[in-house]
Chain A
Amino acid sequence: MGWFKRIKSGITTKSKDKKEIPEGLWYKCPSCKHVATSEEQEKLLWVCEGCGHHERIGSEEYFSILFDNNEFKELNPRMVSGDPLVFTDTKAYPDRLAKSQAATGLKDAIRTAYGPIDGQNAVVACMDFRFIGGSMGSVVGEKIARGIDYAIKNECPFICLSKSGGARMMEAGFSLMQMAKTSAKLTQLADAKLPYISILTDPTTGGVTASFAMLGDLNIAEPKALIGFAGPRVVKETIGKDLPEGFQRSEFVRDHGFLDYIVERSKLKSQLSLSLKMLRKTN
């Protein structure tokens, strides 16, 4: 028996029906100013037809791209963060959370789900940048931890799409320790000989880069995504010069040896499922 066995029935939960996009809503590419309708953009998986710019998208879109017929079971959908430090800056942390939840319809900066990708079941974790900059707090760490447990239990691969500005400052020490926690859990996935595919999307920086995002059996990225440990502004301040063209972009990171390959969004699912297929021993 291996992680590749196909599974079964029971995956019937559909993501909630797509929001109606009001007619006449246009998308203008920030890179080449090409204009498209929202419907066209959706068909193109939110990639500009003019220049190939990959628009930032969230878990709802990635789940629809990766899971067959958009069928999946979301894991721990109601998990929300506590306020262990009673943190207040210009705003109290619970207020910040509530505001972000109301604005995005999300509970936190990550969602995890189980479902088929080209018939092969997998756990997919996907970060949402819209939720406090995709910052990593207790919920991000715990959902990844439970996603890994779920993958081990169901002998399936674990896939994580990263998109994060880094730490959730309002959880301070707790946020930092999510780097340790997720890395510790990944050792268990590795011991179970199950594949971990890390997909780095724009942007992936800070503590996420310095933990689970860089620890994939395969690290793959979308084109031109910003990927780094220190943010470009900090690096620029450190060296006191302008940064070279393409610095910390996917192609740069691949050429320095830290990514297995870069894949366009239109081929993401097929390349991912092919990679998973070929990580399986064949006789």
Chain B
Amino acid sequence: MRTYLDFEEPIKELHEQLEKTKEIQEKSKVDVKTLTSDLVQKIEQTTKDIFASLTPWQRVQLSRHPQRPYTLGYINAMTEEFIELHGDRNFGDDHAMVGGLGMLNGRSVMFIGQQKGINTKMRQYRNFGMANPEGYRKALRLMKMAEKFDIPVVTLIDTPGAFPGLEAEERGQGEAIAKNLMEMVKLRVPVICVIIGEGASGGALGIGIGDQVVMLENSWYSVISPENCSTILWRNWDHKIEAADALKLTSMDMLNNKLIDGVISEPLGGAHADPEGMFEILKKELTERIDTLEKIDPEKRIKNRIKKFSAMGEFQ
């Protein structure tokens, strides 16, 4: 059963009509071909109309859609082979941060990303995609391994934030993220970071330093979630829609502000409406981008990375 967001209501109604029409056809053998194709066309047009003018808050909703694909979904669909690698070799294995070696069009790639759960039980197991320090340290371990064997790194970012727990603080959440930032700047292999869903703050950035940082069309990336921004600046949750506008957190806003390198289009209706189509698109994008980056000298890539991030800021 597909879940529909509030603004997808017209699409839901059309889908229901289409289902009914199909039922009638099966029961009564009445020819409803014209009706069906009309409805299919109408669904496409309505979806186009709705998705042509999404508000920032609606995109935030899409980024959290329960049927939106998650990191392991992408990896399993895009790769011919995948071996998941566990643990930070120090404290434990963080289930909110996954990684491993994947074969992408015959090429080894180190995949790393936050993982959200697909149902209530798994959401707990994955800690809602909120990594602890050992998650960031596991990510770094895998990146350094990739560097050693000259394998490109792809990170898939989807997190409501780094976990703000007591033990996370004891084990140095701040230090773990900080270290990753500095180490990712210096990685000698190509690094591509893709925000596939939620890109919240330091928890996202902790695996987000790359030669190419790109966002899926309906993802968001900012220093804080709209809800928390509303709580702090307006002192309650009621202004999340205004906060989403003010933060300029959509893919197009982030690109226009030169804070990311590209936006990847999603299939019509969003990634959740056609996951297979989304996997196809991302696989093609990653392959092309890795091809391009591999042609650049490692020293030059690092230099470009430093130059790019150093240029970010607005001051007089």
Contacts and interface: CB of A to CB of B under 8 A. Distances in A.
Given A84-B257, A229-B173, A169 B232 contact: yes
A138 B178 CA distance: 18
Interface string B148-186: 000000000000001111101111111101110110011
A173 B171 CA distance: 27
Contacts, number: 191
Interface string B226-246: 000100111000010011001
A230 B130 CA distance: 13
A179 B172 contact: no
Contacts of A173: 221-223, 247-249, 253-254, 257, 259
Contact of A184 (B169, B174, B309): B309
Contacts of A211: 177-178, 181, 202
A175 B202 CA distance: 11
Nearest to B201: A176
A174 B313 contact: yes
B222 A229 contact: no
A248 B246 contact: no
Interface stretch (A24-32, A42-50, A56-64, A75-83): A75-83
A157 interface: no
Interface residues on A, range: 35 or more
B249 A172 contact: yes
Nearest to A239: B166
B206 interface: yes
Given A82-B314, A174-B313, A179 B174 contact: no
A60 to B, nearest CB: 21
Given A87-B246, A173-B248, A187-B186, A209 B313 contact: no
Contacts of A257: 172
Nearest to B224: A169
Interface in A220-261: 227-230, 234-235, 238-239, 243, 247-248, 256-258
Given A79-B316, A137-B313, A214-B179, 18 more contacts: A85-B246, A89-B246, A142-B315, A169-B233, A176-B223, A179-B205, A180-B205, A180-B309, A183-B209, A184-B306, A209-B178, A210-B162, A210-B181, A212-B178, A229-B173, A229-B177, A234-B164, A239-B166
Interface of A: 79-85, 87-90, 137-139, 141-142, 145, 167, 169, 171-181, 183-188, 206-207, 209-215, 227-230, 234-235, 238-239, 243, 247-248, 256-258
Q: Which 5 pairs, one residue from A and one from B, show the smallest C-beta to C-beta distance?
A: A230-B164, A82-B314, A138-B313, A209-B174, A183-B181
26 contacts: A81-B316, A83-B314, A139-B315, A142-B313, A169-B223, A171-B314, A172-B248, A174-B259, A178-B312, A180-B208, A180-B309, A181-B309, A181-B313, A183-B182, A184-B182, A188-B306, A210-B178, A210-B181, A214-B174, A228-B169, A230-B162, A235-B164, A238-B163, A238-B165, A243-B166, A247-B166
